[in-house]
A and B are shown apart, each in its own frame.
Chain A
Amino acid sequence: DAGVIQSPRHEVTEMGQEVTLRCKPISGHNSLFWYRQTMMRGLELLIYFNNNVPIDDSGMPEDRFSAKMPNASFSTLKIQPSEPRDSAVYFCASSAGLAFSYEQYFGPGTRLTVT
């Protein structure tokens, strides 16, 4: 079975450019999470959706970051304009529900480098 799919796996862009990260959750999962991982700050939850609706975006660092989930099988995380401090690995995860007992399945991540 396919797990969480993320694209691209690597992205290198210049400061000021728009970056779009994509995620396809596991089929049948109705909750989706976006995380950012850096050496300094560890693994941080940015935003999560339930049934395509954003539930909590308190972790989104600034207005430059936005996330959408237009349907149950696709989500995007957009950074506009990008800055060098946005360089990190971005993970998408999905789960079958929001209850704590539902395991979150992580994708392989997108390594973003902003020069």
Chain B
Amino acid sequence: QQQVKQSPQSLIVQKGGISIINCAYENTAFDYFPWYQQFPGKGPALLIAIRPDVSEKKEGRFTISFNKSAKQFSLHIMDSQPGDSATYFCAASTVAAGNKLTFGGGTRVLVKP
């Protein structure tokens, strides 16, 4: 059972555009939602994370929007740059499970110059 569903699988955006990646979860016990960025040949790296007590978190050009009632959260990459071309994974965990993360399927983002 896939507990975190991520879409789209791939995304092409022009430089300066906005990249939007969506995730939906099923387990209402999830209460920590990180996003990871992975470049080819590298391991994933934490990009930004949110707890459900806030609806939005922004760090630089990256913003997480969270909708608890819909059980959905999304990553927005503003002013997308070619260096942002990577695979992005959403994930979720519960406070009780600590660092045991359930990952979405990933979105490959290509930013064209």
Q: Would you call A12 an interface residue if the criterion is a C-beta within 8 Å of the partner chain's C-beta atoms?
A: no
A5 to chain B, nearest CB (A): 11
Give 3 closest A-B pairs by Cβ, nearest first: A106-B43, A98-B98, A43-B103
Q: Would you call A91 an interface residue if the criterion is a C-beta within 8 Å of the partner chain's C-beta atoms?
A: yes
Q: Which of B19-49 contact A (CB under 8 A)?
A: 32, 41-46
B111 to chain A, nearest CB (A): 22
Q: Contacting B99 at CB < 8 Å: which of A43, A98, A107?
A: A98
Which A residues touch B105, using CB under 8 A? Answer: 42
Q: Contacting A107 at CB < 8 Å: which of B43, B94, B101?
A: B43
- For the side of the interface on B, what is the size category? 20 to 34
B30 to chain A, nearest CB (A): 10
Chain B 41-80: CB-based contact to A (< 8 A → 1; otherwise 0): 1111110000000000000000000000000000000000
Question: Is the pair B103, A104 in contact by a Cβ cutoff of 8 Å?
Answer: no
A85 to chain B, nearest CB (A): 19
Q: Would you call A25 an interface residue if the criterion is a C-beta within 8 Å of the partner chain's C-beta atoms?
A: no
A9 and chain B: residue at smallest CB distance? B41
In the complex the two chains form, what is the Cα distance from A104 to B47 in whole Å?
A: 11
Which B residues touch A31, using CB under 8 A? Answer: 99
Question: What are some 26 contacts across the A-B interface (CB < 8 A)?
Answer: A31-B99, A33-B99, A42-B89, A42-B103, A42-B105, A43-B44, A43-B89, A43-B103, A44-B103, A45-B100, A45-B102, A48-B100, A56-B100, A91-B43, A93-B43, A98-B98, A99-B98, A99-B99, A100-B32, A100-B95, A100-B98, A104-B46, A104-B99, A104-B101, A105-B45, A108-B41
A28 to chain B, nearest CB (A): 16
